Amino acid sequence: MTKKFKPGDWVKIKGNPSAPKMEVLRYVTKYDPLIGAANNHTYVECVYYYDGERIIKTVHQGRLLKLRDAGGIYRP
């Protein structure tokens, strides 16, 4: 699977209107125990802030939607 995002891109989770706006940090290697292989280009590490706390979330790139406006983390 090809990489869809670059570090610094703004994304949201598809189908969830209340999902926070997140910034892509990097692609991470995630080991899949069922297949027995590592996925290098499918999982993205994202960051967002909630009540002043930095939260890092790992999400599959197929679940993310790229945003056009890069309004920033602190604006809703």
pTM, full prediction:
0.78
pLDDT per residue over 1-35, tens digit each? 688 899 989 999 999 889 889 999 999 988 777 77
Q: What percent of the chain has pLDDT over 90?
A: 43
Higher local confidence (pLDDT), 50 or 72? 50
SS3 48: strand
Residue 36, pLDDT score: 73
Residue 29, pLDDT score: 86
d(CA 41, CA 26): 10
Q: Which of 24, 19, 21, 20 is nearest to 7 (CA)?
A: 24
